[in-house]
Structure 1
Amino acid sequence: MRLTPRGLVLLAVAAPLLAFGFWGGYPMLRALGAVLLGAVLAAILLTGGRRTVEVRRSVYPERVERGRPALASLRVRNPGGGRLAGFLATDATGSAIRTVRVRALAPGAEAVQHYELPTTARGRLTVGPLTLHRVDPFGLARSETHTGETATLWAHPRQLPARAPMVGYPRHHHEGTSTDRAPRGSAQLLDVREYVPGDEVRHLHWKATARTGRLMVRDLADPEQPRFALLLDTRPDALTAAEFEEAVDLAASLLGAAARAGHHSRLVTSSGLDLSTPGGAHSVRRLLDVLCELGQEGGREADLVPVSLAVGGPAGGCLVAVTGGTTPPVALAGSRHRFLAIVVIVLTGTGDGSGAPHGVERSEPAPPNAPSGPATGVRVLVAEGAEEAVRRWNELP
């Protein structure tokens, strides 16, 4: 509880009136000072008592694409034996504040409030707790009480209608000599994760289950299935904040399309993140959750291609690098022998293609007599934003 500026002024006036009234023998000043002091004390008593309410909050949907509507349902119940007067409450969602007016509640009654949550910014947002505000009728004192549990809202990046890549594992050179670098056996172990309904019991990992106390299963990859890897440039000097949001939208679109098509999808960032998934709806959700919280990090001297992509992890398939208009993707030439196709998507933020790197192919193949450079075989698409980049991607043969 605290006094408002109006309450502090009344308290500052009441004290001198009482002092001068008693010192000079002025009954009118004593009465006026007593009335003002009584009003302040009454405000303190009205707002100082503890208000007991039960709050239950649900968010639907819990995961939503950035910019799409999401709703919160707030149930406020009066568990006490007396009537609960109406009050104002605020509910925080990240940095945004929503004001909720709760009507008076009889003993055991509850009120339900529905309101829209802000989803304009990508990220993992915490909704709540609810803050109850109690103010006396004259606005002399107010109190705030935090109550209720919090909920989580995932604002995923946008997903544009992208075409899934149709590139598998490289098993032969064009000359016909065998270069089978696929893992031996019928499946490759990518990860060990917690069991979810629908997983095959034969894939249970008993050692991990005994160690963690939870059912754990193997994520197995068929080496014959298509692979898709995306390298996202997270260096602050490569992309502006607005361009980075477009880059994350582009990454979500391409990775989501590949994972939904059942491709083994891999997300790599220049800051060192390396996430491999086996494909499917579970993988789409996992990739989007990671992209939801991804930020820009790394110094100016950081490399575009991390060591994990240059020398580690499963190879084969298609590699797409998303970067800015000032970074030439020459470093990707060292990974050319590990992938069937490498595509670099350069986001310029200007729409004029002025940021295209030099010494590599553009969106059309180079002529047969063109001089070969260190990045020969790397295709480059130049786009202003995610929508144009997806359109150019869909137009690739």
Structure 2
Amino acid sequence: MRLTRRGVAVLVVALLCGVGGFAAGYPLFQALAGLSVGAVVAAFAVAARRPRVDVRRDVYPDRVERGKPALARLDVRHAGGGFTARDRCGPHVRGVVVRTDAVYRYELPTTSRGKHTVGPLAIERADPLGLVRNLVDTGDTVTLWVHPRLHPARPFTGGYRRHHHDGPTTDQSPRGSLDLREVREYVPGDEVRLVHWKATARTGKLMVRDYADPDQPRFTLLLDTRHDKGFEEAVEIAASLLHAGVVAGRHGRLLTPCGADVTVRGGVLGARRLMDELCVLDVRPGSALPARPPGSLVVVTAGPLDAIAPLRPDVVFSLGGPGEVVGARVIWAPDAERAVRWWNEAVR
């Protein structure tokens, strides 16, 4: 809530009239000063009232690539005589003129990657004299996921195939085939046909068979989040390769120095989970590189390559400059579009 220029002028006049009337002994000036102050106080009271407006909001699609269109839908009821409002989408603000009860649609800004909160609608309230203006929030909020821009990429084909006997049993171990992985306690959602009746009778608890697939190609992509320069381009490279591989049916894993570690199965749902994770990543200069994961490793970095060499990667995407890493194919490019295009040419 703030005074307008007119409101400031009225207060200045009231101050001058009050001081001058008191010094010169003119009661009329003092009365004018009191009326002016009273008008400003009444304007604050009027502008502070919450509008009786019912606002319902939708965003479609709720997940969109950076730069692609996304629309907001406002269903406004009990608008009265109309008003001017401001709608927020992350760091952006857009003006909306509401005239009658209706459904209003407008395009949302999608120029910045991230998980953005859309709303609430800020209605501009003013008194009839135009002395005070106030922005009152109303309506609910929704989330808009702006994913990194995707460039057409060929899926990574060097993923290793893991057998269920390789390494300890973890949540990231492969699942879903006819190769027995372990016998574990039943959890809601498990199929009844997988119940292991002998183990159930022996332990007194409902036990199920958990199967692993020894023929699931998978790969790990390490996104270096320690360097600010070229970070958005690096995120786009990682998103393009992970999306192409997971949609093609390969299991993928996203790893970062800042602590993100996401493993998904192949498919559209897995790709969406990875894109959501890439939405919220930011630069962490003080982070340390993780230990080398097992299997095939792709590294995307904008920093010096000598820090990456101890990880023994299979492929390195370098945005910081050309160089060599022993045992790795290094693809250097100044931006994500050319990096992915040269990758496609290299694996064709």
Q: 1:159 to 1:220 in 2, by over 3 A?
A: farther
Q: Distance in 2 between matches of 1:255 and 1:345?
A: 13
- The answer for the alignment partner of 1:146 in structure 2 is 137
Per the alignment, residue 235 of structure 2 pairs with 248
- What secondary structure, in the 3-state scheme, does the structure 1 residue paired with 2:323 have? coil
In the other structure, the counterpart of 1:132 is 123
Query: Is structure 2 residue 324 aligned with structure 1 residue 324?
Result: no
Matches of residues 66-85 of structure 1 in structure 2 within 5 Å? 66-78=66-78, 84-85=80-81
Structure 1 position 230 matched with structure 2 position 180: no
Question: What does residue range 214-229 of structure 1 map to in structure 2 within 5 Å?
Answer: 222-229=213-220
Q: CA deviation at 1:166?
A: 2.5
Cα separation, 2, equivalents of 1:44 and 1:272: 49
For 2:163, the aligned partner's letter is A
Q: Is the 8 A contact 2:164 2:212 kept in 1?
A: no
- 1:356 matched to 2:322? The reply is yes
Counterpart selection for 2:335 from 385, 388, 396: 385
CA gap of 1:101–1:219, structure 2 versus 1, over 3 A, is: farther
Kindly state the Cα deviation for residue 379 of structure 1 after the two structures are TM-superposed.
Answer: 1.4
Q: Specify the alignment match of 1:268 in structure 2.
A: 255
The superposition leaves residues 162-214 of structure 1 with CA deviations (integer Å, 9 ceiling, x where unpaired) of: 001223536xxxxxxxxxx62249xx87469xxxxxxxxxxxx974439xxxx
State the shift of 1:22 in Å: 7.5
In the aligned structure 1, how far is the partner of 2:280 from the partner of 2:245?
20
Closer/same/farther in 2, CA of residues 223 and 88 from structure 1, 3 Å limit: same
1:304-319 equivalences under 5 Å are: 306-307=290-291, 309-310=292-293, 315-316=294-295, 318-319=296-297
Letter in 1 for 2:343: W
Scaled by the length of structure 1, the TM-score of the pair is 0.71
Figure out how many residues of one structure are paired with residues of the other and give that number: 316
Q: CA deviation at 1:33?
A: 4.2
Q: Gapped runs of 5+ residues in structure 2?
A: 174-183, 190-207
Structure 1 residue 30, shift from structure 2 partner? 5.6
Task: Indicate which of 65, 86, 93 corresponds to 1:90.
Answer: 86
Summarize the Cα distance change of 1:64–1:219 in structure 2 as closer, same or farther, 3 Å threshold: farther
CA distance in 1, matches of 2:209, 2:276: 21
| 1:278 paired to 2:265 | yes
Q: 1:256 to 1:219 in 2, by over 3 A?
A: farther
> Against the structure 1 CA distance between its residues 294 and 41, is the aligned structure 2 distance closer, same or farther, given a 3 Å change threshold?
closer
The answer on whether the counterparts of 1:91 and 1:129 sit within 8 Å (CA) in structure 2 is: yes
Q: Name the residue aligned to 1:182.
A: 163
Give 3-state SS (helix, strand or coil) of 2:8's partner: helix
Structure 1 residues 220 and 68: alpha-carbon distance in aligned structure 2, compared to 1, 3 A threshold: farther
| 1:344 and 2:327 matched | no
Q: Distance in 1 between matches of 2:24 and 2:319?
A: 81
Gap change, CA 1:388 and 1:133, over 3 Å in 2 = same
Contact 1:96/1:118, CA 8 A, preserved across alignment: yes
Shift of 1:61: 0.6
Q: 1:29 deviation in Å? A: 3.5
Q: Is the 8 A contact 2:163 2:213 kept in 1?
A: no
Query: 2:91 matched to 1:100?
Result: no
Aligned partners of 1:249, 1:73: CA distance in 2, in Å?
Answer: 29
Residue identity (%):
50
CA shift at 1:332, angstroms?
A: 2.5
Q: Flag the 1:378–1:21 CA change in 2: closer, same or farther, 3 A.
A: closer
Give the secondary structure class of the aligned counterpart of 2:58: strand
Q: Is the counterpart of residue 119 in structure 1 residue 110 in structure 2?
A: yes
Structure 1 contact 190–278 (Cα < 8 Å) conserved: no
Cα displacement (A) at 1:77:
1.3
The Cα of 1:382 is off from its aligned counterpart by 1.3
Distance 1:25 1:384 in 2: 78
Give the superposition deviation at 1:45. 4.8
CA distance in 1, matches of 2:261, 2:149: 21
What is the identity, as a one-letter code, of the residue corresponding to 1:390? V
Residue by residue, what CA displacement relative to the aligned partner does 1:78-118 show, whole Å, maximum 9, x if unpaired?
A: 1xxxx823221111111111111111x5xxxx232212111
Letter of the 1:225 counterpart: Q
* CA gap 1:219/1:34 in 2 versus in 1, 3 angstroms: farther
Task: Report 1:23-38 matches (<5 A).
Answer: 26=26, 29=29, 32-33=32-33, 36-37=36-37
**TM-score between the two structures when normalised by the length of structure 2:** 0.80
Inter-CA distance 223–69: structure 2 relative to 1 (3 Å threshold): same
Give, in whole Å, the separation in 1 of the partners of 2:246 and 2:209.
18
- AA matched with 2:9: V
Letter in 1 for 2:136: T
Distance 1:25 1:286 in 2: 76
- Residue 25 of structure 1: how far off its partner (Å): 6.2
Distance in 2 between residues matched to 1:3 and 1:219, nearest whole Å: 68
